[in-house]
Amino acid sequence: MDLGEGLRKAIARLSGASVIDSKTIKEFNKELQKALISADVEVELVFALTKKIEEAAAGSEMPQGVSKRDYITNMVYEELSRLMGTSYEPEIKPKRILLAGIYGSGKTTTAAKLAKFYQDRGLGVGLICCDVSRPAAYEQLETLAKQAGAGFFGMKWEKDVRKIVKAGMQELRGKKVIICDSSGRSGMDRELIDELKAINAEFKPDERLLVINADIGQVAGRQAREFDNAIRLTGVIVTKLDGSGKGGGALSAVAAANTNVMFIGTGEKLGMIELYDSKKFVGRLLGIPDLESLIANVQEAIKSSGLREEDVSMDELTFDAFYNQMKAMSKMGPMKNVLGMMGLADVPKEALETGETKLKKFENIISSMTKEERRSEKLLREHGRIARIARGSGTTEKDVRELITDFNKMKKMADLMKNDRMMKKQLSKFMPGMGK
């Protein structure tokens, strides 16, 4: 069970209780403790949180018009948000960023993700490869830089990091943001400290960011303190939060070490990096919809798919638009993440896997249709067309008919929404063209 699932079960049990008394609160706190400790959140922090809840529940002073159940649920949300740190909003201006971290933290991929983040906000970015210990680091960063549309500099066989940084800054002097990727080690040792200090002295970065894998849990706090002692960190990036059960432990440990989490990585693709906001993070854990992030992800997915707004419009739904919507959705990362933003975090794993398989199958079917068929589903009633499409897509006629059924349901829903002013207004935020 991951942290979110454990927290949601505890909240559900509290919400379902007929009476909120001391016994109910103690049982709730046990569930809460179990979920947090399983996610590697430090025991002292967990007990301090549950003690606060118990004391608040025992108090007679309740805000007027608020039930004890809602008051405690809100307190859990607020206290967990505090436990997991704060939020971060970067200044979009020229800067130099030094990335540090041990092996396996996802540092090189994060360098490219940051490059894309700033490129998308209008700042030209250059990447310097100062990882002189990992053989494939040069090629990996060079490839990722191209994917991010960023500049790249490295000296493949050079071991002197000062020399690399000096030449890199000269080569990339026209770039507004320069990101330096440093070497990793299996642990913090003297060689790594000396190397980082040498880069720091030559590069003079505005930001010194530690990249940490969420899987390490509360060990993240110790790492943050060690790297902070070496180069005075300005922040932390936590990666692989999409699949880690210990993400809560890592985030709370970093916060306890008095270091700010600036970004979180939620997947392998370059666009899967987010500004950290503890309230949004905890909200997703508790199953609270994060519509702001969902809208931003939809818009980014449409853009990265090379689509125009009219391509995904539901004003006149065709198989073309349906296909483009699926194409955009596939750019948004794992379906679990997308549903989490919608507040639907407890969809069974089997259903998620089935849904992703079905989407891929539908994409194959639509790509096997002619242009005319994509524009008018009525043509599919003609004899032989369904059989031909099934053969061309490697599916069955039953699969093709299932797609047609789902498409017609979507079309009916779109027609209903177009006639509902409030729904139309809301949907226009998600799918451009519906607000017309």
User: Into how many domains does the chain fold?
Assistant: 3
Q: Where are the beta strands (DSSP E) in 150-252?
A: 151-153, 177-182, 207-213, 235-239
* 254 plus 167 within the same structural domain: yes
Domain-located, residue 187? yes
Domain-located, residue 160? yes
Domain-located, residue 435? no
Distance CA 160, CA 196 (A): 12
CB-based contact 218:41 (threshold 8 Å): yes
Looking at residue 2, what is its pLDDT? Answer: 76
* 110 plus 52 within the same structural domain: no
Looking at residue 313, what is its pLDDT? Answer: 55
Domain-located, residue 252? yes
* 199 plus 159 within the same structural domain: yes
Distance CA 220, CA 70 (A): 33
Helix (H) or strand (E) holding 111: helix 107-119
**CATH code of residue 25:** 1.20.120.140
Instruction: Flag whether the pTM goes above 0.85.
Output: no
* 115 plus 174 within the same structural domain: yes
* 111 plus 260 within the same structural domain: yes
Mean pLDDT of 273-288: 84
DSSP code per residue over 276-293: -BHHHHHHHHTT---HHH
Domain-located, residue 425? yes
Question: H helices then E strands: how many in the chain?
Answer: 19, 8
Distance CA 275, CA 73 (A): 25
SS3 379: helix
**Mean pLDDT, all residues of the chain:** 82
Amino acid in the structure at residue 423: M
**CATH code of residue 195:** 3.40.50.300
Cα–Cα distances in angstroms (integers) from residue 89 to residues 66, 113, 179, 396, in the given order: 33, 16, 18, 50
Looking at residue 420, what DSSP letter applies? -
Looking at residue 19, what DSSP letter applies? -
Share of the chain above pLDDT 70, in %: 78
* 67 plus 143 within the same structural domain: no
CB-based contact 35:3 (threshold 8 Å): yes
Q: How confident is the model at residue 434 (pLDDT cuts 50, 70, 90)?
A: very low
Domain-located, residue 14? yes
Mean pLDDT of 164-178: 96
CA atoms within 13 A on the CB side of 117: 24
Of 83, 110, 144, which residue is a domain's last? 83
Residue 431: name the closest of 294, 289, 280 by CA.
294
Q: How confident is the model at residue 54 (pLDDT cuts 50, 70, 90)?
A: confident
Domain-located, residue 377? yes
Instruction: Quote the longest CA-to-CA distance of the chain.
Output: 75
Q: Sign of dihedral through CA atoms 321, 414, 329, 335?
A: negative
* 248 plus 309 within the same structural domain: no
Of 83, 104, 131, which residue is a domain's last? 83
Looking at residue 423, what is its pLDDT? Answer: 45
Residue 427 has pLDDT above 50, yes or no: no
* 426 plus 364 within the same structural domain: yes
Looking at residue 298, what is its pLDDT? Answer: 58
Residue 137: name the closest of 169, 98, 180 by CA.
180
Domain-located, residue 90? no
Q: Which domain holds residue 35?
A: 3-83
CB-based contact 150:127 (threshold 8 Å): yes
Here the tokens at position 161 are 């990091």
Distance CA 97, CA 117 (A): 13
Residue 146 has pLDDT above 60, yes or no: yes
CA 170 to centroid of chain Cα atoms = 34
Question: Which residues pair with residue 264 across a beta bridge?
Answer: 238, 274
Residue 258 has pLDDT above 70, yes or no: yes
* 417 plus 395 within the same structural domain: yes
Report the DSSP pairing between strands 207-213 and 95-100: parallel
Report the DSSP pairing between strands 177-182 and 95-100: parallel
* 273 plus 303 within the same structural domain: no
**CATH code of residue 301:** 1.10.260.30
Of 280, 301, 321, which residue is a domain's last? 280
* 212 plus 268 within the same structural domain: yes
pLDDT, one tens digit per residue, over 346-389 is 555 554 555 567 778 888 898 899 988 888 888 888 999 999 99
* 64 plus 173 within the same structural domain: no
Mean pLDDT of 251-266: 90
pLDDT, one tens digit per residue, over 399-426 is 999 888 878 877 776 666 555 554 445 4
CB-based contact 209:97 (threshold 8 Å): yes
Distance CA 36, CA 10 (A): 11
Residue 139 has pLDDT above 90, yes or no: yes
SS3 191: helix
